[in-house]
Amino acid sequence: MDGSSALDGLADLAGKIWSLPNTALGLTIGTFDGLIGVAMGQIPEIGFGQGAIQISNLPNIWGFAGAITFGDVQLYTGVSPTTMINNSNYTGEGGFSFEEHEGGHTIQSDVLGPLFFPLYGIGALTNGWNSNPFETHADYHAAYGTSALPW
């Protein structure tokens, strides 16, 4: 391991620690949702990808199919991490998967830690839901590999 990759690893670890409150919330909700699934005979699937724990095949307690990211936990209901996006309402982009978009939110959360959700809310309130920079930059990150950070 050279110096720069060791530093990258340390920065990654620091991000995961900084984002622990979000991750804990995601694990709590994922476990709760997953137990409802087990009771319904719908067994959740757990995997790892995009720097996060991915819990999929969750029952639809949210009211619609989709995904949500809490720090280093991504929850999927009615879609899988590899479900593709042909058009995004946030940017009009397409050709990327759900997990690539959610991976952008995990990066944002690792950098902002407990500030992520308040800043995400401010972004939605000031720009409108579909133009929230946290969503548009997660799209651009997924489509082109650019920074997921909205600045």
Q: Is 61 in the site for another protein (CB under 8 A)?
A: yes
Is residue 95 within the footprint of another protein (CB under 8 A)? Answer: yes
> Which of 15, 18, 90, 112 is close enough to bind another protein by CB under 8 A?
90
Does 53 participate in binding another protein (rule CB under 8 A)? no
Residue 108 near residue 138 (C-beta atoms within 8 A)? yes
Q: Does 13 bind another protein (CB under 8 A)?
A: no
Residue 7 CB, nearest approach to another protein (Å) = 31
User: Where do we find the tokens 């879609």?
Assistant: 79
Q: Which residues contact 93 (CB under 8 A, 6 or more apart)?
A: 85, 87, 139, 140, 142, 143
Taking the C-alpha atoms of residue 16 and residue 50, their distance in angstroms, rounded to an integer, is 13
Q: Does 122 bind another protein (CB under 8 A)?
A: no
From 11, 31, 38, 87, residue interacting with another protein (rule: CB under 8 A): 87
Q: Would you count residue 21 as binding another protein (CB under 8 A)?
A: no
Cβ burial 89-126 (10 Å sphere, 16+ → b, else e): ebbebeebbbbbbbbbbbbbbbbbbeebbeebeebbee
Q: Is 47 in the site for another protein (CB under 8 A)?
A: no
Per CB under 8 A, 65 contacts another protein: yes
Nearest to 15 by CA among 69, 47, 52: 52
Contacting positions for another protein (CB under 8 A): 29, 61-68, 78-80, 82-90, 92-95, 98, 101-102, 117, 120, 124, 129-130, 135, 139, 143
